[in-house]
Amino acid sequence: MRTIILAAVAAIAATSAFAEGDVTKGKKTFGKCKACHTVSTPEGEVLLKGGRTGPNLFGVIGRPVGTADFKYSKALTAMSENGVTWDEASLSAFITDPNGYLKEQGIKGKTKMTFKLKKGAEDVAAFLASLNPAPAEDAAEATEAAEEPTEAGEAAQTN
Least Cβ distance, residue 17 to ligand HEC (angstroms): 21
Number of residues forming the site for ligand HEC (CB under 6 A): 28
x/- string (CB under 6 A) for ligand HEC, residues 4-43? ----------------------------xx-xxx------
Amino acid at 76: L
Per CB under 6 A, contacts with ligand HEC among 105-144 are 111-115, 117, 124
Segment contacting ligand HEC by CB under 6 A, of 8-16, 47-55, 137-145, 149-157: 47-55
x/- string (CB under 6 A) for ligand HEC, residues 71-110? -xx-xx---------x----x--xx---------------
153 phi/psi in degrees, rounded to 5: -60, -45
Return the residue of 15, 53, 105, 130 that touches ligand HEC, per CB under 6 A: 53
The Cα–Cα gap between 116 and 13 comes to 30
Residue closer to ligand HEC by CB (options 50, 145) is: 50
Closest CA to 34 of 59, 52, 60: 52
Residue closer to ligand HEC by CB (options 12, 115) is: 115
- Residues engaged in binding ligand HEC (CB under 6 A): 32-33, 35-37, 53-55, 57, 60, 65-66, 68, 72-73, 75-76, 86, 91, 94-95, 111-115, 117, 124
